[in-house]
Structure 1
Amino acid sequence: MMNVVDLRPYEEAAESKITAVDVSKVYSTKKSQFTALNRVSFHVNAHEFVSFVGPSGCGKSSLLRIIAGLESMTSGSMSISGHEIDGPGADRGMVFQSYTLFPWLTVRENIEFGLTLKGVPLFEKRAVADHFMELVGLHKFARSLPKELSGGMKQRVAIARALANNPEVLLMDEPFGALDPQTKNAMQELLLRIWEKEKTTVVFITHDIEEAIFLSQRVYVMQAHPGMIRKEIVVPRGLRSIDGVKDSEPFIKLKKEIISLIGDHHE
């Protein structure tokens, strides 16, 4: 594994970017109701990288979709920069596990897509696309179609496209879940370096505990049935400055703590 310096600014942010208070989500059918989220409260500071982990059925993806404005909450409140979320908005970008690229558009055209919809002038649009293609290492593939790219390259395009719209918050739902381990590790390191340069607030959903610890300043551990936050964990300052960090004693200790929290969530 390559040596990675600790890029994460742990200083307390002055601004709370996302605030959720007692958020509940109940899905109803003709015969029954299912509580996916039960009075979930959390905050994410500006420029912070925060992950949510938990077992299947704990409501991680439902929570992210509520932040994105793609689903409504049953009760509670959620705001971004003090404004209540009432639907999708340009202040949020989203990256899914599936690559969601337009197959008929080139790498450049995919990245420029949102800017084209906004009517951004051509020279400005090209400059933004050039910046993000360079940032994700795809400048040589500007004219390639998605079918000509590997899975990791497709996900780099998806990240670049989301960031090209200059969102206040980047929402990521298992973005590296479909990648092989080597590519996944490379994408994690790339994401941290992009995050350090762009200062975008990131909310990251994953079932991979190592990934959550490696990427995040804070980790919210969730339990299922119903989905609730069991514990907030602050990742220690400087942990990622260790070479071979995932094999280090502090990393393994923190991983075991989270596994224990998830494993006995039925108690």
Structure 2
Amino acid sequence: MLNAVKQVEPLLKSELEISIKGLSKVYQTKAGSFQALEDVSMYVKNEEFVSILGPSGCGKSTILRILAGLEDSTSGSVKVSDQEVVGPSVNRGMVFQSYTLFPWLNVRDNIEFGLKLKGMGSKERKEISDRYLELVGLERFAESYGKELSGGMKQRVAIARSLANNPEVLLMDEPFGALDAQTKQSMQQLLLDIWKKEKTTIVFITHDIDEAIFLSQRIYVMQARPGKIIKEIDADLHLFQDGDLVEVDQFMKLKKHIVSLLKH
């Protein structure tokens, strides 16, 4: 399995969903300039699940914010479907670690929020929200408000809201970081199930090695100060088949290798 570790290799443009080349980010502060990212290059294919893994402060969330169009780069190229990212787009859904629900709206209205902004009629909106309420297992909570939901349920709503807009790419910034271990595990499995059904391209930020290996087809491992990608790893272990855990040895070997990378 460790032989699967490889350097970043470019694909043909027609095969690319996301292309990041030579990305750098320098912040100007009162104490002087600070380089958060240096010469980051990566790709994500259509319908692929890719994680960016690294320690706190390595710039992985900065990559995601630039990809989302929420922040500008200092230099480099960031493209989605061969289009340069110049700002936010409905084609790039975002799920944050914090629960970003609108507290004055119930669950259904939160999911339908973007659809309403598009001018979609109420009947069509309801058909779409019904589908995603079922997908995330919240049919019985359609009329509930955020204060009545657990943390895991709030993130289910956030995921459903993003998917309801039918984005090309779903960007997830440590969405399960604030959850307890048991809820986190169930949400990881739910996300995998949704990804298999929806075939949405996902870029997932995490500092949890187990989470990255469990969820991802590929992992980009980063170092900090400044943030750089040090390895691209094939992590598609097919860990769960019909609910049975397989390839545990490969999982542990890969985890040991990533721990070694992060230490050095």
TM-score (norm 1): 0.91
> Alpha carbons of 1:157 and 1:236: their partners in 2 closer, same or farther (altered >3 Å)?
closer
- Report 1:108-257 matches (<5 A): 108-241=108-241, 243-244=244-245, 248-257=248-257
1:245 CA drift (Å): 5.1
Instruction: Tell me what 1:65 maps to.
Output: 65
Q: Which residue of 2 aligns with 1:83?
A: 83
> Secondary structure of 1:190's partner?
helix
**Two-structure CA RMSD over aligned residues (Å):** 1.5
Q: Secondary structure at the match of 2:221?
A: strand
Q: Give 1:21's aligned amino acid.
A: K
Structure 2 residue runs without a partner (length 5+): 1-10
Q: Distance in 1 between matches of 2:218 and 2:125?
A: 34
Q: Give 3-state SS (helix, strand or coil) of 2:191's partner.
A: helix
Q: Please give the per-residue CA displacement for 1:188-228, whole angstroms capped at 9, x wherever unaligned.
A: 00000101111100000001010000000000000001100
Q: Any idea what the Cα deviations from partners look like across 1:211-255, whole Å, max 9, x if unmatched?
A: 000000000000001100000000144333383459x21111111
Deviations 1:48-102 (A, max 9, x none): 0000001111100000000000000000001000000000011100000111001
What amino acid sits opposite 1:100 in the alignment?
A: T
| 2:16 counterpart letter in structure 1 | S
Any unmatched runs of 5+ in structure 1? 1-11
For 1:166 and 1:93, how far apart are their aligned partners in 2? Answer: 8
Does the 8 Å CA contact 1:106/1:144 hold for their aligned counterparts? yes
Quick check: 1:245–1:251 contact (8 Å CA) kept in 2?
no
Q: Which amino acid aligns with 1:104?
A: W
**Count, aligned residues:** 252
- Shift of the alpha carbon at 1:16? 1.0
**SS at structure 2 position matched to 1:58:** coil
For residue 192 of structure 1, give the secondary structure of its aligned residue in structure 2: helix
Following superposition, which runs of at least 4 residues in structure 1 exceed 6 angstroms of deviation? none
Q: Aligned partners of 1:127 and 1:160: how far apart in 2?
A: 13
Question: What is the aligned partner in structure 1 of residue 8 from structure 2?
Answer: none
TM-score by length of 2: 0.92
What is the CA–CA distance in structure 1 between the aligned matches of 2:157 and 2:99, rounded to whole Å? 8
Identity of aligned residues (%): 64
